[in-house]
Amino acid sequence: MDSTASRLARLKAEGGRLAAMPLRDLLAADPGRAHRMALRVGPLYANFARQHVDDDALHALHAVAQASGMDKAIHSLLQGEPVNRSEGRPALHSALRSAPCSTLATPTVVHATEAATAARQRMAGLAATLRGSSVTDLVHVGIGGSDLGPRLALDALRDFGDGRFRIHFLSNVDAHAATRLLAGLDPARTAAVLVSKSFGTQETLLNGQLVCEWLGGGERLYAVSANPSRAEAFGIDPARVLPMWDWVGGRYSLWSAVGFPVLLALGEEGFARMLAGAEAMDRHFLEAPADANLPLLHALIAVWNRNVEGHATQAVLPYDERLRLLPAYLQQLVMESLGKRVDHEGRAIDHDTVPVLWGGAGTDCQHSFFQALHQGTQVVPAEFVGVVRPDHAHAEQHRVLLSHLLAQMEGLANGDVGATPAQHSPGNRPSTLLLLDRLDPCSFGSLLAFYEHSVYAQSVLWGINAFDQFGVELGKRLAGGLLPVLEGRAEAQDPVSAALVAEIRARG
């Protein structure tokens, strides 16, 4: 049987052929490469010319995708089949942003889309009520997928709101975060929304209780949950509880009622434009041929860098301050989805999967970790994200920003001989450019959906499930056992934990 490992192994022959051909030679030998290895989908342009692949390598990668059943897998995802095999359910985040009459529709998708449409109508009604109130601030309480997406969206799209509300985020169970946040707010003019799929997330419930007490009760508390009875037991009026569903994972849930503060800040039209941008990418992923499918090409390059080039990390470098939270968002999307060590049948895999993803906003990060990118011993593939047209009037500063983006990519690829060994930069370090025409709700939605689909395509190539996250539960379970130890009601079973608890209690 043609296994994932054997398919990936065949790619290494292509890697061996290219090993002696640095990027500068690939570029010099192929003048048309910069145009041929680029794709545009609506407002998003991508250029892969500085990745260490050539046409033959790309052909081999596409053969792997075909052998992996990629075309069927894409249809299975977007038509609501149970692609989350370990939990026996579909992953219907794309249904949250499609119309009920969508050509993507199957009965499963239609049902999900109708539920999402009804939820958006309720979101709009609650937003209208808040707009008619004296509330000026909303505290969004959630963690992980219940926090990162809305936090990124509002930081990126703040300029497209009317400024009627100030939105604040509270995720960390460390009460320093809550006390600092609430110290600057007026409880008489503040509302809060608690977001938890199970409504059993310890950090969210503790922070929610703290905020509820600070507000003086639950009259201005809202909730988003797949377990409304728990939210109601917490003291939240059922009329202020918005739905989630088990067919949408937290890290894919921005498009649902989890995005309530985004709708509140941007208005219904702005939120709808974000969904429309994502839906356009859904259609592209479904309908584009393999050699012109942008999320698929991105996924193939990611697999090449991980399994052929052997790169264990990946840097994401947004050259737009409004996208500064993108690396943190992608850390969850990519590493929670692809951090798996067994296949769909529960068998241990014998190939590498997810790289460690990290990054920061340019130009700030040029003055921190770029030294290691250019001259360190470990090659780190870099993904640069830029915006052509800014939403400010300072043209010279934007030209300087873009000049730095382009210069860093050029330097990573071509290197520099230098006058001394210490000044030598070897180059041959791969990078991709993602370029938005403008950062607005539509292009932002397209960008995030693009990343979602790339992650899914990578999971298909690796034969793993992108939609479970059982590893996340281990730490939660262990913490539940250690809390009574810290309280003095139990003894730690692990000897190191016992020693550490003793030190904490002695100093507390």
Other C-beta atoms lying within 10 Å of the C-beta of residue 486: 14
User: How would residue 423 be classed by pLDDT, with cut points 50, 70 and 90?
Assistant: very high
Instruction: List the strands of the sheet with 44-47, edge to edge.
Output: 38-41, 44-47, 431-438, 382-389, 313-318, 356-359
Mean pLDDT for all residues in the chain: 95
What is the per-residue pLDDT across 39-80, written as a single tens digit (0 to 9) for each?
999 999 999 999 999 999 999 999 999 999 999 999 999 999
Where do we find the tokens 């977007």?
78
Range 276-302 average pLDDT = 97
What is the per-residue pLDDT across 151-160, written as a single tens digit (0 to 9) for each?
999 999 999 9
Active site residue 476: yes
What is the per-residue pLDDT across 461-494, written as a single tens digit (0 to 9) for each?
999 999 999 998 898 899 999 999 999 999 999 9
Instruction: Pick the catalytic residue from 336, 383, 398, 452.
Output: 336
User: Can you spell out the DSSP letters for 467-500?
Assistant: S--HHHHHHHHHHHHHHHHHTTSS--SSHHHHHH
What is the per-residue pLDDT across 106-149, written as a single tens digit (0 to 9) for each?
899 999 999 999 999 999 999 999 999 999 999 999 999 999 99
CA torsion angle for 384, 388, 392, 398 (degrees, to 10)? 60
The pLDDT value recorded for residue 191 is: 98
The pLDDT value recorded for residue 89 is: 95
User: How would residue 5 be classed by pLDDT, with cut points 50, 70 and 90?
Assistant: confident
The pLDDT value recorded for residue 3 is: 82
Other C-beta atoms lying within 10 Å of the C-beta of residue 227: 18
Instruction: Pick the catalytic residue from 59, 394, 424, 476.
Output: 476
Residues 57 and 304 sit within 8 Å (Cβ to Cβ): yes
The pLDDT value recorded for residue 104 is: 64
Residues 244 and 226 sit within 8 Å (Cβ to Cβ): yes
How far lies 334's CA from each of 263, 331, 448, 452, 455, in Å? 25, 6, 12, 8, 6
- 3-state SS class at 433: strand
What is the per-residue pLDDT across 347-375, written as a single tens digit (0 to 9) for each?
999 999 999 999 999 999 999 999 999 99
Q: Which amino acid is at 203?
A: E
Tokens of 506: 């002695």
d(C-alpha 131, C-alpha 133), whole Å: 5
User: Can you spell out the DSSP letters for 260-282?
Assistant: HHHHHHHHHHHHHHHHHHHHHHH
Range 188-193 average pLDDT = 98
- 3-state SS class at 47: strand
Range 331-338 average pLDDT = 98
1 pLDDT higher than 50 = no
Range 19-26 average pLDDT = 92
Cα of first residue to Cα of last residue in the chain, in angstroms, is 59
Residues 409 and 433 sit within 8 Å (Cβ to Cβ): yes
Instruction: Pick the catalytic residue from 367, 392, 396, 487.
Output: 367
100 pLDDT higher than 80 = no
The number of angstroms, rounded, from the C-alpha of 505 to the middle of its chain's C-alpha atoms is 38
Other C-beta atoms lying within 10 Å of the C-beta of residue 348: 7
How far lies 398's CA from each of 24, 39, 52, 394, 442, in Å? 28, 24, 29, 7, 21
How far lies 104's CA from each of 74, 97, 98, 214, 297, in Å? 11, 11, 8, 46, 22
The pLDDT value recorded for residue 467 is: 96
Active site residue 197: no
Residues 405 and 398 sit within 8 Å (Cβ to Cβ): no
Residues 149 and 224 sit within 8 Å (Cβ to Cβ): no
Q: Which amino acid is at 80?
A: G
User: How would residue 4 be classed by pLDDT, with cut points 50, 70 and 90?
Assistant: confident
Higher pLDDT: 99 or 169? It is: 169
Range 262-266 average pLDDT = 97
